[in-house]
Amino acid sequence: MAKTWRVFMLLAVLLFGVRLMAQEAPDWTNPFPPYRVIGNIYYVGSQGLASYLIVTPQGNILINSSLEESVPLIRESIEKLGFKFSDTKILLISHAHWDHCAGSAAVKELTGAKYMVMDADVAEIEAGGKGNFQYGDNPTSRYQPTKVDRVLHDGDEVKLGGTVLVAHLTPGHTKGTTTWTMKVADGGKTYNVVIVGSPNVNAGYKLVNNALYPQIASDYERMFRVLHALPCDVFLGAHGNYYGMEAKYARMKEGGANPFIDPDGYKSYIDEREQAFRAELAKQTAEATK
Ligand SMILES: [Zn+2]
C-alpha cells in the first residue's frame, strides 16, 4: 500500500507538478526552532504549519501531523526538545486538509499513536481526502488513507496524564474542523488555551448554493458563535500566521511577559475573520440573485 502510494505521488508530482507547487506555500516546509509555548505545550511545527506537542507524565499528544514531508521535521523538533517521538500516544488534527493531516499515517506507523478525529471529518481522513467538498477531485490534495481509532463528537474530552483537551466542532472550513481548548498551568497561574481550527473561507469556496455542502454558510455562522464564546488567554492556531507566531516567538526570546498570552489578539482576529466571511457571503449572495 505504502509503495503504491509513493508511485502514485511520484506520478502526481510528474503530471501535476505545477499545481502541486502552487498549493504548497514555501514556508510550509521551512524548519522552525522548536520551543516551549507555555506550561506543557511546545511548538514542534515548521515556519508555516503549526504542530503542537502536549507533554504529560503518561506520554504526549501531538496536534497536526502536517505534510508527509513534515514528519521527519516534527520528529527532529520533538527530539531537540529532549522528548521521545515514540512517546506520542495520541494524534489529533485541526481539520481534514492535507497540510494538517497528510503525515498522520506515518506518525501512526512510527509511534503507534491513537488517531482521534471529529466525526464529520472521519470519512475524508479514512478515504485520503476523497470526498472533500472543495478539493475531493484534486489529486494534489490527497493523502494516504488513515484509519481513525476514536471518532470524536462536539464537546468530547481527550485525556492523558492529567491534561484534558476539549474538541469543539467549528465547521465551515471543513465539515469537521476542530478547535481545541485546554487549561494550562504556568508560573502559578492557570490559563485558557485556544487552538483555532481555521475560520478561513478559502479561494473558490462556494458559500451559496453549494450542492456538496448545502449548510456551509450556517456552519460558518455556528463556528463564529462558538469561537466568540470560548474563553481565551493563550491564542494559538493551525497556522502560525493566524496569531503572529513568528513575531511572538521573537518577542519571547527577548524575555518579559509571555507574548502568546494574547486575549485581545484572539478577539480581534475572530472579529476580522468574521467580517471577511460576511463580506464574501454578501458578495456571493448578490451574485446569486442577479
Ligand atoms: Zn485548511
pLDDT in tens, 159-211: 999 999 999 999 999 999 999 999 999 999 999 999 999 999 999 999 999 99
Distance of CA 278 to the CA centre of its chain: 23
Ligand 1 centroid–CA 98 distance in Å is: 8
User: Coil, strand or helix: which one is 240?
Assistant: helix
Q: What is the pLDDT, as a whole number, of residue 24? A: 72
- Residue 162: phi and psi, rounded to 5, are 90, -10
Ligand 1 being an ion, which residues bring their Cβ within 5 A of it? Answer: 97
Place of cell 462536539: 154
Q: Give me the residues of the chain with pLDDT under 70, please.
A: 1-23
Find the 123 Cα to ligand 1 centroid distance in Å.
Answer: 16
The alpha carbon of 50 and the centre of ligand 1 are apart by a number of angstroms equal to: 12
Q: How far does residue 248's CA lie from ligand 1's centre (Å)?
A: 23
Q: How far is the CA of 282 from the centre of ligand 1 (A)?
A: 22
Which secondary-structure segment (H or E) carries 178? strand 178-186
CA of 95 to the centre of ligand 1 (A): 7
Distance 109 CA to ligand 1 centre (A): 24
Using CB atoms within 10 A of its CB, is residue 131 exposed (0-12), middle (13-18) or buried (19+)? middle
* Cβ-proximal residues to 275 (8 Å cutoff; 6+ apart), any chain: none
pLDDT (0 to 100) of residue 17 = 43
Distance 253 CA to ligand 1 centre (A): 29
Query: What's the gap in Å between 100 CA and the centre of ligand 1?
Result: 7
What spacing in Å lies between the alpha carbon of 81 and ligand 1's midpoint?
Answer: 28
In whole angstroms, give the CA distance from residue 36 to residue 54: 10
pLDDT given for residue 19 in this prediction: 38
What's the gap in Å between 201 CA and the centre of ligand 1? 9
Residue type at position 27: D
Look-up of cell digits 463564529: 224
d(CA 163, ligand 1 centre) in Å? 26
Of 222, 203, 194, the C-alpha closest to 120 is: 222
Alpha-carbon Rg for the chain, nearest whole angstrom, is: 18
Helix (H, G, I), strand (E, B) or coil at 15: helix
In the reported structure, the alpha carbon of residue 82 is separated from the centroid of ligand 1 by a whole-number distance in angstroms of: 30
Res 1: pLDDT: 44
Amino acid identity of residue 95, one-letter, is H
**Model pLDDT, residue 172:** 98
> Residue 240 Cα, ligand 1 centroid: separation in angstroms?
13
Q: What is the reported pLDDT for 242?
A: 98
* CA distances, 252 to each of 187, 260, 264 (Å): 15, 8, 18
**Distance spanning both ends of the chain, measured CA to CA:** 49
Q: What is the pLDDT of residue 84?
A: 98
- pLDDT at res. 21: 40
Kindly report the CA angle at 193 between 280 and 38, in degrees rounded to 5?
A: 125
Q: What is the pLDDT of residue 137?
A: 83
pLDDT at 12: 52
Residue 113 Cα to ligand 1 middle (Å): 23
Distance 97 CA to ligand 1 centre (A): 5
Single pTM value for the model: 0.92
Predicted local distance difference test score (pLDDT) of residue 4: 57
158 Cα to the center of ligand 1, angstroms: 22
Sign of the torsion angle spanned by Cα atoms 219, 105, 89, 100? negative
CB 162 within 8 Å of CB 139: no
Using the mean position of ligand 1's atoms as its centre, give its distance from the Cα of residue 198 in Å. Answer: 7
Task: Report the separation in Å between the CA atom of 151 and the middle of ligand 1, taken as the mean of its atom positions.
Answer: 20
Please tell me the predicted confidence (pLDDT) of residue 9: 52
The 8-class DSSP code of residue 56 comes to: E
CA of 173 to the centre of ligand 1 (A): 6
